[in-house]
Structure 1
Amino acid sequence: MARPPRFDTSKLLDAAVRLAAESGPSGVTMSAVAAAVGAPSGSLYHRFTGRTALLAEVWLRTVEGFQEGYFEALESSDDPRTGGRAAARHIVAWSRAHPAEAALLLYGAGEFGREDWSDAHLLRAEEGNIRVRAAVAALAGALGVHGRAGLDRVTLAVIDLPLSVVRRHLRGGIPLPEYAEDLAEQCTDALLAGG
């Protein structure tokens, strides 16, 4: 029976997340990740074809991990406003529980080399984006909101506004206040209730 690898992909990606949170995408290099876990560089090249593939995996794993809980929260109730409020709370709670990943997501996919990603990585990213757009559109429809302005308001309520509650604190290196989830939920609910 083969011995399990000493440096598995998950550990390597965890180290890359920490490096990205500390130094931004430029801090995520093959040699830096290898050094962070005490692995030979070959361990990384065995799993990733190069830095571009590593950056894509770091970004996509983080986004997909976040989105899993986000969609669960958004679809947690038959009442669309309840689901919207839960999604807003999820953004803040997930960021509190995963500060390194949340700091990483302050950057955009472009800063993680998106223009050079493989077709497979680009497809994963686009599938996630499509799913987000569809979920927000479904929420808007369930709320009886139509048109571009209405969709923009729902997007602001369940994505942009809760992210803004988190962003200021993450950028400043300040812990999220204990009431941050409540604040995001209240603001989201006010937007979802209006017009």
Structure 2
Amino acid sequence: MARPPRFTTDQLLDAAVRLAAAGGPAAVTMSAVAQAVGAPSGSVYHRFPGRTALLAEVWLRSVERFQEGYFATLTSGAEPRRAARAAARHVVAWSRENPDEAAVLLYGPAEFGRAEWSEEHTRRADAGNERVFASLSALAGALGATDEQARDRVTLALIDLPLSVVRRHLRAGAPLPPHAEDMTEECTAALLGDGHSGAA
């Protein structure tokens, strides 16, 4: 009877995420992950054929976990402005609960070697992005964002603004302040307006 593996894939990825959060993508190597969990290097190679695959999985698991909640918020069926405020708030709340994964996502897929990913990894990344962007586009339409400037306002309110709040603190190695979610939601609401001015 085969012995169960001592280290699971998630344990190895958890260690890789911690390494990336602390030292950036360059810190994630097969040997560093093995050392972090006290495993032989063969345990890492058994699950990931090489560093490129490891980096891809670190990024994809992190972004897919974030996107799941963000997508659910965008498509909750709530009144559009309420859904938009909740989506912006989710960015900050999720980052507070998952600071290491949030730190990973601040780098972007290119820094995790996307140009060298397998076709399957690239397909997963594209599918997740397309699902979220389609939902953002639908919400923008529901908000009355019919021209480029209005759509840019929605992107600023739901993506750029909450990410800037998260980035400033995480890059400084500081926890998010208790008021971060409320402040982000207030700024998003101000950007989106009350729906009667013709702006999104």
Normalising to structure 1: TM-score of the pair? 0.96
Give the corresponding residue for 1:6: 6
- Corresponding residue of 2:59: 59
Matching residue of 1:164: 164
Give the Å deviation of 1:112. 0.4
Looking at structure 1, the residues matched to 22 and 173 of structure 2 have their Cα atoms a distance apart, in angstroms, of 11
Distance of 1:63 and 1:176 partners within structure 2: 19
CA–CA distance in structure 2, aligned partners of residues 150 and 136 of structure 1: 13
Distance in 1 (CA, whole Å) between partners of 2:180 and 2:131 is 26
Q: CA deviation at 1:2?
A: 4.2
Q: Aligned partners of 1:25, 1:78: CA distance in 2, in Å?
A: 37
Q: Which runs of 5+ in 1 are unaligned?
A: none
Could you say which residue in structure 2 is the equivalent of 1:146? 146
Cα distance in structure 2, aligned partners of 1:192 and 1:135? 17
Match of 1:131 in 2: 131
Distance 1:190 1:88 in 2: 12
Kept in 2, the 8 Å contact 1:80–1:142? The answer is yes
Superposed CA offset, 1:15-65 (max 9, x none)? 000000011000000000000001111111111110000000000000000
SS at match of 1:42: helix
Q: Distance in 1 between matches of 2:149 and 2:59?
A: 30
Residue 102 of structure 2 is matched in structure 1 by 102
Q: Percent identity?
A: 69
Secondary structure in structure 1 of the residue aligned to 2:39? coil
Q: Does the 8 Å CA contact 2:73/2:87 hold for their aligned counterparts? A: yes
- Letter of the 2:144 partner, please give it: G
Q: Aligned partners of 1:124 and 1:189: how far apart in 2?
A: 32
Partner of 1:49: 49
User: Which consecutive aligned stretches of 4+ in structure 1 deviate over 6 angstroms post-superposition?
Assistant: none
Whole-Å separation in 2 of the counterparts to 1:57 and 1:34:
16
Deviation at 1:78, TM superposition (A): 2.7
What is the CA–CA distance in structure 1 between the aligned matches of 2:12 and 2:38, rounded to whole Å? 10
Q: What are the ranges of 5 or more consecutive residues in structure 2 without an aligned counterpart?
A: none
Aligned-partner residue type, residue 71 of structure 1: F
Equivalent-residue separation in structure 1 for 2:143 and 2:130 (angstroms): 20
Contact 2:12–2:37 (CA<8 Å) still a contact in 1? yes
CA distance in 1: counterparts of 2:192 and 2:131, whole angstroms: 20
Shift of 1:149: 1.6
Residue 148 of structure 1, CA deviation: 1.8
Partner SS for 2:31? helix
Task: Tell me the CA shift for residue 181 of structure 1.
Answer: 0.1
8 Å CA contact 1:136–1:151 kept in 2: the answer is no
Distance 2:126 2:82 in 1: 27
Contact 1:25–1:111 at 8 Å: present in 2 too? yes
SS at the partner of 2:82? helix
